[in-house]
Structure 1
Amino acid sequence: MSSSKKDVLKTRENMSLVKTFGSIKDNFKLKPQQYIIDNWVFKLHYKATVLFFLVASILVTSRQYIGEHIRCISDKGVPEHVMNTYCFFTTTFTVVKALDDKLLDTGNLAHPGVGPYGIDSPEPIIRHAYYQWVPFVLFFQAIMFYITHLMWKKLEGGRLRFLVDSLKWTAFSLEDKEMKVGDNKIPSKSDKEAKIMQIRKLFLDGMYINKYWSVKLMICEILNLLHIVLQFYITDKFLDYRFNDLGSTVWNEGLDSSVDVLDEVFPKITKCTFHKYGPSGSIQFHDAMCIMALNIINDKIYTGLWFWFIFIFICTALGLLWRLLTIVMHARSRGFNRMVFASSCPGRLNPWNVLNVSKHYSYTDWLFLVYLSKNIDPVVFKEIFVGIAEDMEEKRSLKQPLINDSMDLY
């Protein structure tokens, strides 16, 4: 193939890769969501982690940055392309006794893990069969991290969206008539008041919110924590149980040693043996030394993935502790509620209103109000919040005389 044709093919590959990264960028823009039904810890799972895996799966399949995934050096008995293909789709290996930094430093070894190894030798070796599966496993893990998000969207059932859509543009309701700005309709003041009264009535009657809404959210959050543990185990199993302490070993030992843990798990040079029948029918063995260019990317991906798993596990655990704290404090502390709703309600909330809402409603209703405050204008939410508190106080005042009258009968 001429050099001009190679340049054209390489240019096409570069353009294809740029388009692929562009499509990922379009789907993972850091822009405000139209409807917020979860928190930033949840987003670490289905946004940041999924993006990490997708980018990693593309990198390990891009030849223009790392060259051929494998390139083997052998004698002339086997064509180069045949040896490369064979060694990539079968297992290459490294010799355990050749993973010695002292021998490497003294010049007795050319590369870590590459040394003399005879046919049927009892010398212990480490076989490496994972590398052809890396892009598939990474993509599969990306899908798995998105499942809990889809599950929560299904369980949430669009409740928040229903309320948010009904309150859209109500913050701009300043006229007695409905106004149209472009394709958007700004409701009149009477329509705004009617919609707010409808929401107040739904909360007062308890018809719209049920106790299982918060339970479903907490189940998904617990599943996120368990999923991190599962992913850690899957990755450890995939790398032949050498992922468990990969990050801690790299952190403690560093990369200054001639033979480090990355050379053992992701060797850059490996051995491969090709078996072929000779002219007379005898089996011939062709030894090869293979350059594993793919592992230049793999070692960085999985080292970063180890630290990312630890980080996201800690964040998820802290998120569950925060959820437990909100369950305990939402009906007991006015200060806690003022802190939670501080960014959603301009000005200071009346402590009595906070007490009415937080103490006499269930945790699900309280949590639903918190998420409602993240999706609508603060001024509109404060009007709803204060109105719900007034409705609750009025309902209590109506019940109190009935109780006193019943006591007088005795």
Structure 2
Amino acid sequence: MLGFPFIADFIQRVKPLEVTDSVDFMNYYCTTLLLAMAAFAISAKQYFGSPIQCWVPMEFRGGWEKYTEDYCFIQNSYYVSMEEEIPNELHKRNDQISYYRWVPVVQMLQALMFFAPNYFWNACCKQTAIQPQAIVKDAKKISMLRGENRKDEVCGLAEYISETVSIFSGRRFTRLPFPRLGKNATVLYLLTKLFYVMNIVAQFFLLNHFLEENFLLWGFQVALRFRTFTLFVLGDVISRREWQESSVFPRVIMCDFEDHRPKHILIVSVCEPHQTAYVYEESEIWLRSLQVRRLANIHRHSVQCVIMLNMINEKFYFFLWFWFLIVGFCTIVNFFYHLIVMTVPRARMRLVLWNIRKIEWEVSAFHF
């Protein structure tokens, strides 16, 4: 990818593999790539752009405004709706919405979690003598051949599979600590499917804890607010309706900070009576027996800030909520499907016969 070689390298490493199905592809490739690209984009805005802008008092000059924005981005910020008053109690102004600083980090963590089951499968399946990836890769190459070469290659591949299965059935060879029943690859693949299920469930709880909100139902609540989630953006544009601000992703926040300024009152202590000295304001000097101490006042400021990134975060997480819901449903159904096929002999036989008939239909259609 032009200008972003690390992204191109990442995409190359997460490329589609041979021994996977469409549900695996949705998990380890589509979702991983989606989260990684979002993390890169938000990181660019946060660390190289202007993630926050604050409305500061007129007395702020020079670098004060920049200092205020940087401080409010990394320190205490809280949300108060326009209909509410700012609470007078300081303990109610605690850091309520600090999650947005960590959005890119959490998204990269999520991407790694989606990729982890696939990494486990690739690392472990190479330790089985049957080498399923090599078999599928050779089968794809054979499917492109025609004539006698195709027949010879098919016979050679079938012989290799037969010999490998015989070795496993004879309990003569394995590199894994599983029982030597010739089912290592099957157990590993089912474990991988189970890890995908566990991951998608963990994703909801991770976001629920990260956003400090009931994220498990948040997508439904937003969808019900707009009555439909299929064309909610188009509906807003047509009806000229503003996207309502959410307390989960507030765009306007409040921020408190303090500064220490010198007082105009000086405390003077004279150790010797009738001693005369000249003292200048905002200074600390020693004149023989005279000590002057400067004090400082603590000034508290409450400023209003705008986080434009939260408008993007809200739309992204709304889409991500439904994407996780779809991926989770497909992953759970896919796991139980493979569990039944690989543990019930009759289901396994029907699957093999169905694939044979499918190939026969394709061959007949090709000759026709």
TM-score normalised by the chain length of structure 2: 0.70
Give 3-state SS (helix, strand or coil) of 2:256's partner.
strand
Paired residue for 1:116?
86
What is the Cα deviation at residue 266 of structure 1?
A: 0.7
Correspondence for 1:279 = 262
CA gap of 1:156–1:75, structure 2 versus 1, over 3 A, is same
* Preserved CA contact (<8 Å) 2:19 2:132: yes
Following superposition of structure 1 onto structure 2, how do residues 10-409 of structure 1 map, counting pairs within 5 Å?
Answer: 19-20=3-4, 23-24=7-8, 27=11, 33=16, 36-63=18-45, 68-78=50-60, 79-95=64-80, 99=81, 111=82, 115-118=85-88, 120-121=89-90, 127-157=96-126, 159-163=131-135, 172=145, 193=155, 196-204=158-166, 206=169, 210-254=182-226, 260=244, 262-280=245-263, 281-327=296-342, 329-331=344-346, 335-344=350-359
Give the length in aligned residue pairs.
304
Listed as ranges, the gaps of 5+ residues in structure 1 are 1-16, 100-110, 176-186, 349-377, 379-410
Q: State the secondary structure of the residue aligned to 1:245.
A: helix
Distance verdict in 2 for CA 1:168–1:43, change over 3 Å:
closer
Asked whether the equivalents of residues 330 and 337 of structure 1 are also in contact (C-alpha less than 8 Å), the reply is no
Q: Distance in 1 between matches of 2:154 and 2:315?
A: 55
Structure 2: distance between partners of 1:189 and 1:259: 62
* Identity in percent: 22
SS at match of 1:264: coil
Distance in 2, matches of 1:188 and 1:246, equals 55
Structure 1 letter corresponding to 2:199: H
Aligned partners of 2:53 and 2:306 also within 8 Å: yes
Q: Residue 68 of structure 1 contacts residue 293 of structure 1 at CA under 8 Å; is this kept in 2?
A: no
Deviations 1:330-371 (A, max 9, x none): 4368654322344445679xxxxxxxxxxxxxxxxxxxxxxx
- In 1, the alpha carbon distance for the partners of 2:216 and 2:358 equals 41
Aligned-CA RMSD value:
3.9
SS at structure 2 position matched to 1:93:
coil
Contact 1:54 1:139 in 2 (8 A): yes
Query: C-alpha displacement at 1:196, in angstroms?
Result: 4.1
Amino acid across the alignment from 2:51: H
Distance 2:308 2:298 in 1: 30
For 2:325 and 2:152, how far apart are their aligned partners in 1?
Answer: 53
Gaps of 5+ in 2: 174-180, 227-231, 264-295
Worse-matched range after superposition: 155-164 or 202-211: 202-211
Q: TM-score, normalised by structure 1?
A: 0.63
Partners of 2:137 and 2:161 in 1: how far apart?
A: 12
